Structure 1
C-alpha cells in the first residue's frame, strides 16, 4: 500500500526529522524525570555503613546506653509526599528479625528529627505516633544484640501518599510496617552496625 510519502521524497525526510524530534522529546522527558537528586536520609550520630552512635544503645538486657533515638535528616522526598514514617529493624536477629522503632504520621513539612525525639516528646508535639517495639515498649528501643557477631540495623524513612495511617499509638511495629508498605511513594535507607 502506498502512502503520501511515496510521492514526495522530501516528505520522507521531513517525517524522519519529526520522528527524531519526537524521540528526542521523549528522551529529554525521561532524563528530566531522573535529573533530580535521590531521596536520602542521614544522621549526625553515625554514617551509612558505620557503627551506631553510643547514645543510641539500649539501656537494659545487659546493655548500658542512654537509649536515645537518633537524629535524622532527609532530603528530596517525592513531591507528592503527604507524610513520613520511620522504622529501625535488626535484620540479623534470629527468626523474623527485631523491630526497634516504628513511627508514623510525621507531617510532610518535617525534614528532620532531633536526637531523642522519641523520649523527649518531640514526636508527640508533631502529632506522630509510635509503635510498640519488640522490647515490648512504646517508642524507640536501641540496639542490644546478644554477644557475638555485630548486627545490621536498617533505618528507613518512608514518604507516604496519605496524611495519616489508620494506626494507634502502641500497636505492634509489624502492623505499622504493613500499613506503611501499602502507602509508600518512596524510601531512603542507611544501615549501621552494633555488636557486643
Structure 2
C-alpha cells in the first residue's frame, strides 16, 4: 500500500480553485506536488480534466497533460482540448465545475514527444502504473 498523494499549495482538496488559474483569467499553472511516490517510481504523470463538461460540450474536457521522467530536468507537456500544449485552466461554460487532477507513479520511463495526446499517454502507461492519486477543485466563472 502506497502513501502516494497529490496536493496543491494553491488550494485544498475539494476547494475553490483561485481565479488566477482560470483559462480566461491569468491561466497560471497551479503548484502541484507529488508526495511519497513508491521507491520504484521512474516517471510521474498528470492528467487534469473536467468531467462536468460532459453536459455542456458532450465530452470530458482535457485541461492538462504532462509526464516527468525523474532522470530528466523538466516535464514533457501534452496537447489539451484547447488545442494547445501545456496547462489550460478551468473555463466552465455553464456554472461551477469540478476539476480532477490525476497523478500516476510509473515503473518505466516514457518517450512521448511534446504535444502527445491523452490516448497516447494512457496507452504508454498501461501495465506500468504502480500508484495513483487524485486531487479535486471547483471553479466558477
With structure 1 as the length reference, what TM-score do the two structures score?
0.64
**Which residue in 2 is equivalent to 1:87?**
47
Distance 1:83 1:130, change over 3 A: same
Measure how far apart 1:126 and its partner are.
2.0
Which of the two has greater helix per residue? 1
Measure how far apart 1:181 and its partner are.
4.2
Given that 2:78 and 2:118 are in contact with CA atoms closer than 8 Å, whether structure 1 keeps it comes out as yes
Measure how far apart 1:130 and its partner are.
0.6
Distance in 1, Cα, partners of 2:75 & 2:82: 20
Distance in 1, Cα, partners of 2:51 & 2:82: 15
With structure 2 as the length reference, what TM-score do the two structures score?
0.87
- Matched residues, number: 138
1 or 2 for the larger relative contact order (CA 8 Å, sep ≥6)? 2
Which of the two has greater strand per residue? 2
Post-superposition Cα deviations, 1:71-102, rounded to whole Å, max 9, x if no partner, equal 01222211211111111111111233011001
Larger radius of gyration: 1
Q: RMSD between aligned alpha carbons?
A: 1.9
Q: Gaps (5+ residues) in structure 1?
A: 1-33, 109-124
**Which residue in 2 is equivalent to 1:77?**
37
